[in-house]
Structure 1
Amino acid sequence: MRIGIVVDSACDLPIDYLQKHNVTILPITVRIGEAVLADQRNEEATLEFLKAHVAEHGHEAETMPYTVQQIQDLFLQRLVIDYDYVFCMTIARTRSPIFDNATQASFAILNDYKPVRSAAGITTPFALRVLDTQSLFSGQAITAVESIRLREAGESPPKMRARLEQVAQNTRAYMVPRDLYYIRARARKKGDRSVSLFSAALGSALDIKPVLHCHRGETSPVAKIKGFDPAVERLFKFTARRVRNGELMTPTVALCYGGELNEMRALPGYRELVDSCRTHQVELFESVMSLTGMVNVGKGALAVGFASEAGGFDD
């Protein structure tokens, strides 16, 4: 059976990895003033756009995910011919309408695919599953990588579906932002009043950085640490311990950074995490944060994703 994999462009994985494994991307378009870029996970284009627009005006951006009709067209024009079963994995539905758009599109796709496949000489049925990863940033990468691993191992769609849903339930994404004022401005633009001016001003004045944790679609702070570098170091060391203790559900850790990757690699704790992953045969992915991610959390933020039943954020 030909199994296809679809992710949206907020899934933080390197574009060469996605292309190598024939993963289809649902682009998210970002508009800042008159500047428009469809995020196709092109790191060079993202960094150029970042330098030109995001640093000063990113909090004013509008993000436009694929519509129901665009998703329907993509499937009926190509994917229902190329594949027999497709897994479409989206950013958390609590953060974006992509899951709902894809779910709505799936009804029309499953109703209209037969003439398209028949015209291509294919008589077998087509099926698809829309999966809410319940995560964002590097967290989305974990289910995508696991779906590729399962497909390459020859697993059936029912077994893949059960496993991917289990992984999504246990995926954890952690993020350290650089600029709380930016996050507050962005939150207000989207109508989210959860980051108060007082909290942003106090945190910035004292250089306090929160460590944010996204799990099962909900995001909350799990620590507040003085200084960006110390906060990142603690997050890297925490992740390295999870790796060394054998607490990961899948052999995968994903990192993304809102800027040049060489900046991330120079941060304290990075080398310890790299060495721990190498020693324990855990695959480590590194990518520039998606443009969608950067306009929401600001330049220079760092995120880590992995799957584990163990919760908490310990020393």
Structure 2
Amino acid sequence: MKIAIVTDSTCYLPQAEIDKHHITVVPIPVILDGAVYDEGKDITTEEFYAKLKTAKTFPSTTQPPLGEMLKLYENLANEGYDTIISIHLASTISGFVNTLKGAVDEVQGAKVYVYDSQITVILMGWLVLAAAQMAEAGDDPEAILARLDNLRTTMGEYFIVNDLQNLVRGGRLSNASAFIGGMLKIKPLLTFDDQSHKIVAIEKIRSIKKAYSRVETLFQEELDRVDYPVRAVVIHANDPDEANRWLADLQQKFPTVPFELSYFGPVVGTHLGEKAIALAWMKDFTKA
């Protein structure tokens, strides 16, 4: 059995990891002022945020063409892969997964498993890495998917955004009406709801310092609750200096937790807005 691992560009994995594990990454298109850019291919994260400052219209995203996806799967089959595990951003924020699930039976020469990560960004990237490592070790697809299911239940994340305008316009916030009024100097705190897997606003906090403190408290509560090692990450939308400051603070406060730094690329940045920042975590997939 030869297993290929496919994902989309919202995994935001370092290129070195993608190359090392032979992961196929499909770019998600971003539309800005009428121009279509394939994320990570036609436009870098830095270029996107620079263009966003002068954009005349609200950016949007769309799905990769289905025909191109089916062709990709068939090309992998022709390269000798008889199994393909395709891991993608949450079905609650994009219809991409469901589109693929409805079409993969057409693929000749390989069995395609389409997997809903129920998340996006580097947490999805970690699921992808876990799958790739298991495939390299010779595990079968059923074992890989079972491990992903387990890891998926351990994910946690809190997003701090400057405003909800982008999420509301994009229809990505399920309880927006309760949080729209009186946003001046307020830092909305968002998360993915554990049941619906939709982005929800959970609290209004009056300063970034208080927002950090609240997230750190919630993170500590999670660490106290679980009986497994956790890996965490600070994620930012074009604000690396602030992200590095918070990361250093977190590393001091939680010295036993391995932390990484990641970013919100164009597709996710379209909805969260520039300067958004998050703390996210998952069971440490690098440990047994």
Q: Which band: TM-score by shorter chain?
A: 0.7 to 0.9
What whole-Å deviation, never above 9, does each CA across 1:251-285 have from its counterpart, x for those lacking one?
Answer: 53233211142331123xx22433577635x4x33
Query: 1:50: which partner in 2?
Result: 49
Pair 1:87–1:104, CA change in 2 (3 A): same
Mapped pair 1:255 → 2:234: yes
Mapped pair 1:231 → 2:231: no
Query: 2:35: which partner in 1?
Result: 35
Alignment of 1:18-33 (within 5 A): 18-33=18-33
Q: Distance in 1 between matches of 2:124 and 2:25?
A: 13
Query: 1:139: which partner in 2?
Result: 123
Give the CA deviation at 1:88.
0.7
Task: Give, as a single letter, the amino acid of the residue that structure 1 aligns with 2:34.
Answer: E
Q: Which has the higher contact order (CA 8 A, sep 6+)?
A: 1
Q: Is the 8 A contact 2:10 2:121 kept in 1?
A: yes
Alignment of 1:1-315 (within 5 A): 1-40=1-40, 45-53=44-52, 55=53, 57=55, 60-109=58-107, 112-113=108-109, 126-187=110-171, 194-196=175-177, 199-203=179-183, 205-215=184-194, 217-236=197-216, 238-239=218-219, 242-243=222-223, 245=224, 247=226, 251-267=230-246, 270-275=247-252, 279-280=256-257, 282=258, 284-307=259-282
Q: Distance in 2 between matches of 1:48 and 1:285?
A: 23
Q: Distance in 2 between matches of 1:14 and 1:202?
A: 39
Q: Distance in 2 between matches of 1:242 and 1:164?
A: 20
Give the CA deviation at 1:17.
2.2
Q: Name the % identity.
A: 19
What whole-Å deviation, never above 9, does each CA across 1:277-306 have from its counterpart, x for those lacking one?
Answer: 7635x4x33222121100011011123332
Q: What is the TM-score of this pair, normalised by structure 2?
A: 0.83
Query: Which runs of no fewer than 5 residues in structure 2 stay unpaired?
Result: 284-288
Q: What is the TM-score of this pair, normalised by structure 1?
A: 0.77
Q: Is the 8 A contact 2:21 2:133 kept in 1?
A: no
Give the CA deviation at 1:183.
3.3
Q: Is the 8 A contact 1:142 1:306 kept in 2?
A: no
What whole-Å deviation, never above 9, does each CA across 1:51-77 have from its counterpart, x for those lacking one?
Answer: 122x45497223122132111011112
Q: Is the 8 A contact 2:33 2:57 kept in 1?
A: no
SS at match of 2:118: coil
The 10-residue stretch of structure 1 (153-162 or 287-296) with the greater mean CA deviation from structure 2: 153-162
Pair 1:159–1:177, CA change in 2 (3 A): same
Q: Distance in 1 between matches of 2:142 and 2:174?
A: 41
Give the CA deviation at 1:193.
7.8
Q: Distance in 1 between matches of 2:100 and 2:174?
A: 28
Task: Give, as a single letter, the amino acid of the residue that structure 1 aligns with 2:102.
Answer: Q
Instruction: Compute the RMSD of aligned alpha carbons.
Output: 3.0
Pair 1:85–1:255, CA change in 2 (3 A): farther
Q: Is the 8 A contact 1:134 1:168 kept in 2?
A: yes
Task: Give, as a single letter, the amino acid of the residue that structure 1 aligns with 2:201.
Answer: P
Query: Which runs of no fewer than 5 residues in structure 1 stay unpaired?
Result: 114-125, 309-315
Q: Is the 8 A contact 1:59 1:295 kept in 2?
A: no
Query: 2:286: which partner in 1?
Result: none
Give the CA deviation at 1:141.
2.7
Task: Give, as a single letter, the amino acid of the residue that structure 1 aligns with 2:118.
Answer: Q
Q: Distance in 2 between matches of 1:3 and 1:193?
A: 36
What whole-Å deviation, never above 9, does each CA across 1:116-172 have from its counterpart, x for those lacking one?
Answer: xxxxxxxxxx32211111113343233223223433444332211111122224423
Pair 1:161–1:199, CA change in 2 (3 A): closer
Q: Structure 1 or 2: larger helix share?
A: 1
